[in-house]
């Protein structure tokens, strides 16, 4: 008798665990789960951390203001370390284990493109905050971005160099193994020449190089009056130090990948300008409000990656409300028709789901002994 009771109790205990697990596994209809894929560690972690903060701030505000269609938003974040293979792993985890149908991320073009074909096939809406390579949205109509694309910002820098810096002779130093850098180089060159300028030196290096002096000697001998450096802030900081040491004191110009350079370089980046998605010192009320809230929460001024990710979350929220649904097909359709004012500007999507918006040029200056980027000019499409 005792043995029978013990067996019955054991079976009951097992069943209780099974039912409890089934209850936990059941989808919670009171929440909207959104995946976030960011480089939270690795060489471009500064971008991912800022983007995650931007999304988290937006979600905090959205939930406090009444949620989305009466449902609380929950973001499940994954670190891809800036590695495309890990981006795919993050995507698979979010869509299979967490059952998300919406993803914000990743930050770089290569990492984002690693999973866009999967997302398109599975009807998962992807909004890339800062992946600027033109081909990012080629996978199909579930793939969107809120940043302008590389051909535009390369052209912006070329146009700015001619018209605002009055440059006639440009040198370019780029990473020949990085599609981002190559695309920017090509479009800068095209716009600079179209504006009446001459390219006097075109030098390249390999990803991971630390010594650029051989290329910089050639650039110095070409006597440019502007140098274009289309790469990320960590590499540009190394180049700028060696460039100034060579006695090249001309303006240096770059893309949005410079964002954050002021905290990772010294006076060598003064007389530097870069294209960006917004200016933190803008007088636009939306920007002022965002910067104040972000700074109060994180004790640091938001970079464009934070602003873009913040906008990505609000664009997704607006589309869900317009669709009155969390169905990914309906939200995709609503996204295509989105048009409105956001922190990084007035945004609408073209037929390739790329935004139509302006770019700003920022200048690196020194204020109270600290390097800061300040608004210099706006360049329209």
**pLDDT tens-place string over residues 164-215:** 999 999 999 999 999 889 999 999 999 999 999 999 999 999 999 999 999 9
Class of domain 31-148+283-349: alpha beta
- pTM score, whole prediction: 0.78
Q: What would the mean pLDDT of 280-294 be, rounded to a whole number?
A: 94
pLDDT of 25 higher than 60: no
Architecture of domain 151-276+361-379: 3-Layer(aba) Sandwich (3.40)
Residue 259: predicted pLDDT:
85
pLDDT at residue 129 is higher than 90: yes
Cis peptide leading into 213, omega within 30 of 0?
no
The CA-CA-CA angle for residues 164, 371, 248, to 5°, reads 55
Q: Would you list the domain boundaries of the chain?
A: 31-148+283-349, 151-276+361-379
Domains 31-148+283-349 and 151-276+361-379 belong to one CATH topology: yes
The pLDDT of residue 180: 87
CB 52, CB 13: distance < 8 Å: no
pLDDT tens-digit series, residues 143-162: 999 999 988 899 999 999 99
Say whether 141 sits in a helix, a strand or coil: coil
pLDDT interval class at 18 (50, 70, 90): very low
Per-residue pLDDT, 356: 85
Predicted pLDDT of residue 263: 86
Average of per-residue pLDDT across 235-257:
96
Please tell me which residue, 319 or 359, carries the higher pLDDT value.
319
146: nearest Cα among 69, 51, 44: 51
Q: Please give the distance of CA 339 from its chain centroid, rounded to a whole number.
A: 20
Band (380; pLDDT cuts 50, 70, 90): confident
The pLDDT tens digits of the residues spanning 26-42 come to 567 889 999 999 999 99
Nearest to 130 by CA among 291, 287, 308: 308
* pLDDT (0 to 100) of residue 381: 67
What pLDDT score does 21 carry?
Answer: 40
């Amino acid at each position: 008798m005792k043995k029978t009771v013990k067996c019955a109790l054991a079976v009951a205990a097992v069943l209780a665990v099974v039912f409890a697990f089934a209850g936990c596994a059941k989808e919670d209809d009171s929440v909207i789960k959104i995946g976030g894929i960011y480089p939270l560690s690795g060489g471009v972690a500064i971008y991912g951390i800022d983007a995650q903060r931007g999304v988290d701030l937006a979600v905090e505000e959205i939930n406090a203001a009444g949620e989305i269609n009466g449902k609380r938003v929950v973001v499940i974040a994954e670190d891809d370390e800036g590695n495309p293979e890990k981006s795919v792993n993050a995507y698979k985890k979010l869509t299979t284990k967490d059952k998300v149908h919406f993803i914000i991320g990743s930050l770089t073009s290569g990492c984002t493109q690693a999973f866009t074909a999967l997302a398109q096939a599975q009807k998962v809406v992807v909004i890339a905050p800062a992946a600027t390579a033109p081909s990012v949205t080629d996978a199909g109509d579930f793939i969107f971005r809120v940043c302008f694309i590389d051909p535009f910002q390369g052209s912006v820098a070329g146009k700015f160099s001619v018209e605002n810096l009055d440059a006639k002779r440009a040198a370019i130093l780029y990473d020949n193994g990085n599609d981002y850098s190559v695309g920017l180089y090509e479009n800068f060159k095209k716009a600079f020449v179209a504006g009446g300028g001459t390219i006097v030196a075109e030098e390249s290096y390999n990803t991971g190089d630390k010594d650029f002096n051989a290329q910089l000697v050639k650039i110095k001998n070409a006597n440019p009056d502007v140098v274009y450096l289309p790469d990320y802030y960590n590499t540009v900081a190394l180049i700028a130090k060696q460039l100034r040491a060579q006695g090249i004191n001309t303006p240096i110009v770059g893309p949005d990948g410079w964002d954050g350079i002021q905290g990772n370089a010294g006076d060598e980046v003064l007389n530097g300008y870069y294209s960006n998605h917004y200016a933190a010192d803008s007088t636009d009320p939306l920007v002022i409000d965002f910067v104040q809230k972000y700074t109060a929460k994180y004790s640091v001024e938001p970079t464009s990656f934070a602003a873009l990710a913040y906008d990505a979350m609000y664009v997704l929220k607006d589309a869900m409300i317009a669709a009155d649904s969390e169905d990914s097909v309906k939200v995709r359709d609503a996204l295509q028709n989105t048009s409105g004012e956001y922190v990084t500007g007035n945004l609408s999507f073209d037929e390739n789901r790329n935004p139509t918006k302006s770019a700003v040029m920022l200048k690196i200056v020194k204020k109270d002994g600290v390097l800061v980027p300040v608004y210099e000019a706006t360049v329209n499409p």
